[in-house]
Amino acid sequence: MPDKPDKLAVVAYDRIKRGILSLEYQPGTVLQERALAGELNMSRTPVREAVQRLAQQGWLKISARKCLNVREVNFDEMRQTFQARSLLELAVLEMLFTCGRTAEAAEQMKRLDGKMSQLEGQLFQFIVTDQMFHAVPFHVVGNKPLLRFWQTVSDEMIWYGMLAMTPFRYSDVLAEHGKVVEALRLGKVRLSRQSLQEHLNITEQMLVTNDVGGEDRGGCHELEV
């Protein structure tokens, strides 16, 4: 039995979104439905559904002329996202201490750091695993609404992480993670907060320093509908 269109639309959504998050489709890149359908080896109907969903979520921009552009970096949005991330991560960090599960979180985070240490040169997988590292406290605490809020931010952080990453950051990220894990293992609240906040600040500063986004990609192709 052939795949239903809605299932294919989910496949198309996942593949196109991965292309955006992994920077296969750079910010500002012009895409076309027909070309995407060819790449994914499927008809344009599920691709169109995927495109509409991604546009609703802000990953793609569709103009009045039906131009299809990958989202570009907006520094105000970036700072707001980092503010939200900081609030969420620091809040759940406090909850780890309140419920006495810092050692459990530290062990899981240490294991993920071990995986990350084997991923140098595999940037996208490194960043995805990094987000798994940051998600550990949310899973350990078990607060479902907080986890949902985190998951909303997490895809954004994969994208920003890809944009911020440079070759020397592999070892730096692991070192910064190590400080957070050690502070949790020792049960030191203030040091845990300080280490985590410093790590988040460095990532944000890398984006500002590298002046990501804002590049004019030029051109606007009509989408065939």
Is residue 84 included in any domain, yes or no?
yes
Q: The domain spanning residue 136 has which CATH number?
A: 1.20.120.530
Within 8 A by CB and 6+ apart from 179, the residues are: 195, 198, 199
> pLDDT tens, 159-182?
998 988 887 789 999 999 999 999
Encode pLDDT of 27-49 as tens digits. 999 999 999 999 999 999 999 99
When divided into structural domains, the chain yields a total of: 2
What percent of the chain has pLDDT above 70? Answer: 90
Q: Are residues 96 and 194 in the same domain?
A: yes
Q: Note whether 102 and 115 are same-domain residues.
A: yes
Are 62 and 139 members of one domain? no
Q: Are 95 and 193 in the same domain?
A: yes
Question: 3-state SS of the chain?
Answer: CCCCHHHHHHHHHHHHHHHHHCCCCCCCCEECHHHHHHHHCCCHHHHHHHHHHHHHCCCEEECCCCCEEECCCCHHHHHHHHHHHHHHHHHHHHHHHHCCCHHHHHHHHHHHHHHHCCCCCCHHHHHHHHHHHHHHHHHHHCCHHHHHHHHHHHHHHHHHHHHHCCCCHHHHHHHHHHHHHHHHHHCCHHHHHHHHHHHHHHHHHHHHHHCCCCCCCCCCCCCCC
What is the average per-residue pLDDT within 70-89? 93
Domain boundary among 70, 94, 122: 70
Are 82 and 142 members of one domain? yes
Q: What pLDDT sits at residue 82? A: 92
Whether 61 and 80 share a structural domain: no
Domain that holds residue 18: 5-70
Residue 155 falls inside a structural domain = yes
Together in a domain, 40 and 120 = no
pLDDT greater than 90 at residue 113: yes
Q: Which amino acid is at 147?
A: L
User: Is the domain of 46 the same as that of 88?
Assistant: no
Q: What is the CATH number of the domain that holds 27?
A: 1.10.10.10
186 and 79 both lie in a single domain: yes
> Looking at the structure, do residues 104 and 125 belong to the same domain, yes or no?
yes
User: How confident is the model over 3-25, as pLDDT tens digits?
Assistant: 554 899 999 999 999 999 999 99
Is 220 within a domain? no
